[in-house]
Amino acid sequence: MTVLDVRKLVLLREVGARGSIAAAAQALNYTRSAVSQQLSALESETGAALLDRGSKRAELTAAGRLLVAHTERVLAQLEAAEAQLLARDGKVTGELRVGVPLHEGPALLVPALNRLRARHPELRITLHGVDPDEGRQTVRLGRLDAVLASGYPQVPEPRVPGLYEEEVISDRIRLAIAPGHPLARSEGPRDLAEFAEQPWLLDRTSRLGQLVLHLCADAGFVPDIVSDIGDMQAVFGLVSLGWGVALVPDLVPERPGHPVARIALKRIRPIRRITLVVREGALDSPPVAALLPAVREAADELRRSSAVPIGHPTTDELHPLGADELCRGEADRHPRPAADESRLPAAEEPPRPTA
């Protein structure tokens, strides 16, 4: 029986995630030729072609995808075994690498990490800025141990294998307009269609941008996009100066010195979920096991102290984009999820974390 080399399996997984042998080699600090030789050896050992080398990208074949799926489970079991060994003495030491999305991330994570550092002074915590759309893959590939990630219930996205996600907070998405806009002093929500003739600021490639495009289409118009900047602080600056309007989550802080007016939308209540993402195999590791309750406590404090309406979405807010009744119902038409349904991890039956 041939025993497959885990290191070669990791190389295959990395190539599949990054789309090229060169990118995988750079990420793992190998030469391109070394990665190529190792993958060729793995193909010889398995007797199957694992990469489609005929395409511009290094695409995995069906056999390659099957092997990577098994690799995810093997790596999770190995990491879980290591985590349980480390947890035997009850000490929380080592290093915890945490990905923080710029701008709104620190408001939630920094209080949690300060609490964690006070409880476990021997634990070294390092922060790393991440792109909101890339954080999950960074954790999956082992570059980080945890990350805050954003998701929009109306914009389905594929589950990233090997990850555990726990929703910690959610916030509404409202329309940001300049303080001098004619509707800035409006009382109550407004129809999105009222802003059909306004210039818009949004990044089409982001998940938030995809949500905005669908909401505008559902309201009967195509937004006139005058800026495709994805940085929220830049967006707030432009909105404040009257360059355009934008849909932004409530927990994203405004740019200092650039006030905006935020207006709720009539008949629709788009929301954003913020989740803490860790690897399934790391749930029992002392640093991650200590991080989860600290983040929950910080989220509860933020929820109590926040002036904006945040919390869990109603059933109406979870309809996927394209449905005729997209987010159109009022909260009293459907019951809120039961308490044990308030967490929405990516896996269907995720393991329960150790507090």
Per the CB < 8 A criterion, the answer to whether 198 and 224 are in contact is yes
On the question of pLDDT at 337 being above 70, the answer is no
Task: Please state whether beta strands 94-101 and 163-177 pair in parallel, antiparallel, or not at all (unpaired).
Answer: unpaired
What are the tokens at 158? Answer: 């594929």
Under DSSP, the state recorded for 190 is B
Q: Which residues pair with 174 in a beta bridge?
A: 248
- Nearest by Cα to 151 from 167, 162, 138, 139: 167
Do residues 270 and 152 touch, judged by C-beta distance below 8 A?
Answer: yes
Condensed to tens digits (0 to 9), the pLDDT of residues 179-216 reads: 999 888 888 899 999 999 999 999 998 889 999 999 99
Q: Distance between CA atoms of 255 and 206, rounded to whole angstroms?
A: 20
* Distance of alpha carbon 285 from alpha carbon 336, whole angstroms: 34
In tens, the pLDDT along 82-101 reads 888 877 878 899 999 999 87
The answer to whether residues 145 and 97 touch, using CB atoms and an 8 Å cutoff, is yes
DSSP-derived secondary structure letter, 351: P
Comparing 122 with 231, the larger pLDDT belongs to 122
* CA angle in degrees (0–180, nearest 5) for 18-274-224: 75
Place 306 in a pLDDT band, splitting at 50, 70 and 90: low
Q: Give percent above pLDDT 70 in the chain.
A: 83
Q: Model pTM?
A: 0.73
The overall average pLDDT reported for the chain is 81
Gap between the Cα atoms of 192 and 212, Å rounded: 10
DSSP 232-294: HHHHHHHHHTTS-BEEEETTSPPPTT---EEEPBSS---EEEEEEEEEGGGTTSHHHHHHHHH
pLDDT of 313 > 60? The answer is no
Give the model's confidence band at 105: pLDDT under 50 very low, under 70 low, under 90 confident, else very high. low
Q: How confident is the model at residue 309 (pLDDT cuts 50, 70, 90)?
A: very low
Q: Binning pLDDT at 50, 70 and 90, where does residue 55 land?
A: low
C-alpha distances in angstroms, 86 versus 83, 216, 222, 279? 5, 51, 55, 16
Average pLDDT (274-299) is 93
Q: Is the model's pLDDT at 347 over the cut of 70?
A: no
Q: Are 94 and 124 in contact (CB under 8 A)?
A: yes
Rounded Cα distance between 22 and 354, Å, is 38
Q: At 220, is the pLDDT very low, low, confident or very high (cuts 50, 70, 90)?
A: very high
Q: What is the mean pLDDT of residues 285-293?
A: 93
User: Is 146 or 52 the better-scoring residue by pLDDT?
Assistant: 146
pLDDT higher than threshold 60 for residue 239: yes
Counting beta carbons within 10 angstroms of the beta carbon of residue 107, is it exposed (0 to 12), middle (13 to 18) or buried (19 or more)? middle
Q: What value does the mean pLDDT take over residues 264-282?
A: 91
Residue 322 pLDDT exceeds 90: no
